[in-house]
C-alpha cells in the first residue's frame, strides 16, 4: 500500500475549537523542548508525530524499531506513511530474539522488550541531540495488561496523550482533523502476542504467523490475528468478516498448512485485543 501525499497543518482556530485536551497536548509537546517520537505507523504514534512536527518543526524526529516482532508489511507501510507526511524517520534494528530471557516468553516478555526498546530510543535521541523520547500511550492503554508501560516509565519515556488525558477515540478524532489515512486503522500488536506465554519464541514461528496473517488480510479481511496453539492456528477476526473466512476456507487451510500449522479454527468470539493475556 502506498500512501498519497498529504498536507497537514496545526491551525490554531481549528485546534482551539476542538477542546482543552488539544491545547494541552500542544503545551505538553512544546514544554519538552525537543522530541524523538517512537513511531510505528499506527494511529497513535502517527498523530503524535504530526502534532510534534507542528509544534516543534525543527526540533523533532521519529524512530521506528525494526525487529522480527513486526511484520514486513507494517514496517513498509509505516515508512511510506512517514515519507508522505514529510516526517523525519530513522530505522533502528533490534536483535530482541537474541535475548534468552525474552525468547522464553514469560509474562514479563513485554517488560523485557520495552526496556530494550527504550534504551535504543534514548540512545537515538542522544545521537540526534533531542531532549526527550515520547510514545503514543494513551489513557485507554491504562485499563489493559501493559507490563511494557512500566519499563517505559522507568526509562523516562514521556506520554503526551496520557498527560493530556486523551483516550483512543480522542486520538482518532484528531487523526480525522489532520485527515490522516490511518485515522481508522485497526490496532496492531507485535507478533509475539500470538504465542501463548511459556512457548518459546523463534523467528521461524513468528514468520509463519506473519505470512498467515498477511495471506488472510489479502483476502479482504480487516482485523486479523492468527494465534498459535501448538500445531493449531486459532483465527480471530471481527464477526463481520466471518463470511470471508468461511468462503475462503479451503485456500486459508491450504496456506496455513504450508506455514507450519496442522489444524485451523475460527474463534467464534471474534477478535479480542490481548486475548492471550
Phi-psi region of 238 (alpha: psi -120 to 50; beta: other; left: phi over 0): beta
pLDDT given at position 143: 80
Question: What confidence score (pLDDT) does residue 147 get?
Answer: 83
pLDDT at 10 over 50: no
Distance CA 151, CA 107 (A): 14
| Helix-then-strand count for the chain, H and E | 12, 7
Query: In sequence order, what are the residues at sequence separation of 6 or more whose Cβ sits closer than 8 angstroms to the Cβ of residue 255?
Result: 211, 212, 215
Whole-number pLDDT of residue 276: 72
pLDDT at 7 (0 to 100): 44
pTM as predicted: 0.89
Cell of 181: 489515512
Three-state DSSP at 148 gives helix
Q: With residue 90 as reference, give the H or E element that holds it.
A: strand 89-93
The mean pLDDT value for 125-154 works out to: 92
Percentage of the chain surpassing pLDDT 70? 93
Q: Which of 17-21, 114-118, 270-274 has the highest mean pLDDT?
A: 114-118
Which letter, b or e, does each residue of 242-277 get, where b requires 16 or more Cβ atoms within 10 Å of its Cβ? bebbeebeeebeebbeebbbeebebeeeebeeeebe
Mean pLDDT of the chain: 92
CA distances from 227 to 68, 174, 221, 234 (A): 16, 32, 16, 5
What average pLDDT does the segment 142-163 reach?
Answer: 90
pLDDT for the residue 173: 94
Share of the chain above pLDDT 90, in %: 85
Task: Assign 264 to helix, strand or coil.
Answer: strand
Q: Which of 114, 274, 263, 273 is nearest to 197 (CA)?
A: 274
Asked whether the predicted pLDDT for residue 168 surpasses 70, the reply is: yes
Distance CA 125, CA 189 (A): 24
In 42-108, alpha helices (H): 43-55, 72-84, 100-103
Q: What is the pLDDT of residue 11?
A: 42
**Dist CA 178 CA 7 (whole Å):** 9
Cα(88)–Cα(130) distance, integer angstroms = 13
Sign of CA dihedral 147, 151, 154, 160: negative
Q: Give the SS3 label for residue 193.
A: helix
Q: What share of the chain is helix, strand, coil (3-state, %, to 5)?
A: 50, 15, 35
Q: Annotate 131-144 with DSSP letters as a single string.
A: SEEE----TTGGGS
Looking at the predicted structure, is the pLDDT value of residue 51 above 80?
A: yes
Comparing C-alpha atoms, which of 258, 254, 253 is closest to residue 235?
253
pLDDT at res. 12: 45
Is residue 178 pLDDT above 70, yes or no? yes
What is residue 128's predicted lDDT score, i.e. its pLDDT? 98
The pLDDT, as a whole number, for residue 4 is 45
Query: pLDDT tens digit string along 220-253?
Result: 998 999 999 999 999 999 999 999 999 999 999 9
Amino acid at each position: 500500500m502506498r500512501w498519497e501525499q498529504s498536507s497537514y497543518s496545526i491551525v490554531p482556530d481549528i485546534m482551539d475549537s476542538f477542546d482543552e485536551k488539544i491545547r494541552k497536548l500542544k503545551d505538553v509537546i512544546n514544554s519538552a523542548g525537543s522530541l524523538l517520537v517512537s513511531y510505528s505507523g499506527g494511529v497513535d504514534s502517527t498523530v503524535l508525530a504530526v502534532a510534534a512536527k507542528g509544534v516543534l518543526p525543527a526540533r523533532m524526529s521519529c524512530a521506528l524499531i525494526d525487529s522480527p516482532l513486526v511484520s514486513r508489511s507494517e514496517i513498509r507501510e509505516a515508512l511510506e506513511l512517514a515519507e508522505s507526511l514529510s516526517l523525519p524517520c530513522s530505522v533502528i534494528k533490534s536483535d530482541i530474539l537474541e535475548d534468552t530471557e525474552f525468547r522464553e516468553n514469560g509474562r514479563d516478555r513485554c517488560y523485557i522488550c520495552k526496556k530494550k526498546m527504550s534504551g535504543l530510543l534514548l540512545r537515538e535521541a542522544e545521537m540526534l541531540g533531542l531532549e526527550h523520547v515520547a510514545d503514543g500511550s494513551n489513557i485507554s492503554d491504562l485499563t489493559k495488561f501493559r507490563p511494557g508501560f512500566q519499563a517505559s516509565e522507568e526509562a523516562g519515556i514521556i506520554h503526551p496523550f496520557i498527560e493530556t488525558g486523551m483516550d483512543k477515540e480522542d486520538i482518532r478524532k484528531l487523526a480525522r482533523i489532520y485527515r490522516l489515512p490511518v485515522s481508522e486503522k485497526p490496532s496492531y500488536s507485535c507478533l509475539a502476542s500470538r504465542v501463548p506465554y511459556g512457548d518459546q519464541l523463534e523467528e521461524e514461528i513468528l514468520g509463519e504467523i506473519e505470512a498467515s496473517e498477511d495471506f488472510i488480510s489479502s483476502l479482504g479481511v480487516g482485523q486479523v490475528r492468527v494465534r498459535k496453539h501448538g500445531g493449531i492456528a486459532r483465527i480471530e477476526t471481527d464477526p463481520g468478516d466471518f463470511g470471508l473466512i468461511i468462503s475462503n476456507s479451503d485456500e486459508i487451510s491450504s496456506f496455513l498448512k504450508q506455514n507450519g500449522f496442522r489444524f485451523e479454527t475460527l474463534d467464534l468470539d471474534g477478535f479480542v485485543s490481548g486475548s492471550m493475556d
